[in-house]
Amino acid sequence: MWTFNYYDTVGSTNDVAREAGLSGCQGRTGFVAAVQTGGRGRRQRAWSSPPGGLWMSLLLRPQIEPEKWPLTTLSSGIAVASAVAAAGVPASLKWPNDVQIHGKKAAGILCESSFAEHGGTKGFVVVGIGLNLNVDLALLPDELRTSATSLLFETGHAHDCRLMAESIAAHLDETQALLEQGRESELLDMYRALCPMLGKRVSVITHQTEYEGVAQDIAPDGALMVERYWHDGRRTVERVVAADVSVRLR
């Protein structure tokens, strides 16, 4: 059973969950806020968290080897996309963890891990989820309005925040069970089926460089495999772990 804690306003649910994890809080505990004042996404980017969204962090204590913990990012993406689909809105995944509806971003996921043992308890993973559930798109920053969407906008009606939180947690139980049972290949196949980016020409931007290629596959550890196109005509297969990857429109 999951236990949920609800708040009116917090700085970041990930920070709340992390402090709880360091204090020995059990896994399968959720932290949900109506508003975040300091939400963040990948690479410490600010995350807009207006009223109406599902701003939630799930505390896990994975029963798998630490080297497999990064696959929780893929597991979480599948869980959120599955919960959105169960609400009647088909969703897809943009590597590594953006949930999209009709090509527009509806949710983002930020997983943060602590591998050390604290106070007799083992390490943990915090799965931070920002879902534009009942968000009025007019409340989003100008630069996001054309690239984002919400379930409210897509369906024309509001959705129950607590039911969605519980649905995501239930789907996460199912995907994490695959990891705990050593069935990573099944998890990867589920992810591939939800990721239309595979086989498409993409742009990859890392801290060091920018290049184009074709997204080929998801590696066993969750990395994106990209066939890179070089200016001299060469093609090499690159293993992408941390980058901004987008589908080229031409």
Q: Helix/strand/coil (H, E, C) string of 145-208?
A: CCCECCHHHHHCCCCCHHHHHHHHHHHHHHHHHHHHCCCHHHHHHHHHHHCCCCCCEEEEECCC
Percent of the chain at pLDDT exceeding 70: 93
Q: What is the pLDDT of residue 139?
A: 81
Choose the weakest-confidence range: 26-30, 139-143, 193-197: 139-143
Total residue count of the chain as it appears in this document: 250
Give the confidence band of 60 by pLDDT, cuts at 50, 70, 90. Answer: very high
91 against 48, higher pLDDT: 91
203 against 40, higher pLDDT: 203
Domain 201-247 belongs to what topology? Answer: SH3 type barrels. (2.30.30)
- CATH 3.30.930.10 intervals, the chain: 3-194
Residue 21, token pair as written in the block = 């994890």
**Residue range 180-201: average pLDDT?**
97
3.30.930.10, 3.40.640.10, 3.40.50.720, 3.40.50.2300: which CATH number matches 3-194?
3.30.930.10
> 233 exposed, middle or buried (CB, 10 Å; 0-12, 13-18, 19+)?
exposed
In the predicted structure, residue 116 carries a pLDDT above the cut 90: no
CA distance 168 to 159: 13
Instruction: Say which amino acid occupies 132.
Output: N
Query: Mean pLDDT across the chain, nearest whole number?
Result: 91
Q: What is the pLDDT of residue 51?
A: 84
**Residue range 35-46: average pLDDT?**
64
Give the confidence band of 118 by pLDDT, cuts at 50, 70, 90. Answer: low
Q: What is the pLDDT of residue 146?
A: 85
- CATH 2.30.30.100 intervals, the chain: 201-247
In the predicted structure, residue 44 carries a pLDDT above the cut 70: no
Assess contact for 179 and 167: CB atoms under 8 A. no
In the predicted structure, residue 162 carries a pLDDT above the cut 80: yes
In the predicted structure, residue 239 carries a pLDDT above the cut 90: yes
In the predicted structure, residue 43 carries a pLDDT above the cut 80: no
